[in-house]
Amino acid sequence: MPVRNFNLFSIIDCSWQRDSCRENEEDINSKMVQGAFSEVVLAEEKRTQRLVAIKCIPKKALEGKENSIENEIAVLHKIKHANIVSLEEIFESKSHLYLIMQLVSGGELFDRIIEKGFYTEKDASKLIQQILDAVKYLHDMGIVHRDLKPENLLYDSMDEDSKIMISDFGLSKIECSGSVMSTACGTPGYVAPEVLAQKPYSKAVDCWSIGVIAYILLCGYPPFYDENDAKLFEQILKAEYEFDSPYWDDISDSAKDFIIHLMQKDPNIRYTCDQALQHPWIAGDTALEKNIHESVSAQIKKNFAKSKWKQAFNATAVVRHMRRLQLGTSSEGPNPSLPEEDAGTTCGYWCCSISIVSFFFSHTV
């Protein structure tokens, strides 16, 4: 790709240092070489004064892993949807690769729910409908996201009726004819049973994740939880979850039915995006309009403190650790490498936090 002049943009804020500004590429370079795989900064295009998010990736961090970022870029180049954060341009210097991303400024999903004074099943239904529309588009394009979770759902603007946007395609995969996905990747709590079981899987893993998100949006806590990751994964593998009282007492049977169809253990009978979009809770009028804000927001604050829900884990490492426990060994060893199935994709960079828009401008500019 051609080397472009990065000075077309002024860096006006940074995710790593909020109290200072970076004026040029040299300042970015001096920070980036200190070990981070990538950073996302807020920038303004000098000619138009348009705000964008720039993902800055040092080339040294890509050595031997070039196919990974190529996969992410290939996915982003392929997609254009109203509810998906878009890649606008790519710049390259001798030391860095810069992805110019659409800036979404409305903040994170959980923050907006907490800030609301009124929140209903209908609000949750509208959110899930937008997610389903976007994921259906991805699936129709042969793309599996593989890491759908609230952290990757951002509001486009601060407007009350702002649309929701899907971000972070670092773990996404373009399905190829005859290829099979089997790498354990995703985020614990949202990953489908077949992924943890190390079985070949399909785009149905995204539908499971949407079911988990819908569950959380209606009660404020996750369907699966344990401080011990191995025990958490055991719950997911068995698809064991409940609609606990009193938190679900005021939630409609239609909403529960919708979730049950998406969180089917067997991916062959799990709802597709098409089927989910036709469910009465989405397409009809069965979503209740009773205010559930107090209960849901209280549970979100309790269960999704950012120090907890923003953590990312290597599912492959946990699965293998579970196997070690079953074999009666306590040896830890280094983090295992990923299976060759996903060579050339981004699963190997889970711990490197490849994030499309990990920083967003959530206050008035």
Query: Which residue numbers are catalytic?
Result: 147
Do 39 and 353 meet the contact criterion of CB atoms below 8 Å apart?
no
> Among all chains, which residue has been given the structure tokens 């893993």?
205
Q: What are the helix (H) ranges across the chain?
A: 25-32, 66-78, 109-115, 121-140, 193-196, 204-219, 229-238, 253-262, 273-277, 280-283, 293-303, 306-309, 315-327
* Rounded CA separation 115/133 (Å): 25
CA–CA distances in Å: residue 228 to residues 86, 188, 318? 36, 11, 10
Sign of CA pseudo-dihedral 23, 95, 63, 43: positive
Q: Which two structure tokens, joined as six digits, stand for 350?
A: 């889970």
Within 8 A by CB and 6+ apart from 197, the residues are: 237
Q: At 30, phi and psi to the nearest 5?
A: -65, -30
57 CB-side CA count, 13 A: 27
Q: Which two structure tokens, joined as six digits, stand for 201?
A: 């899987």
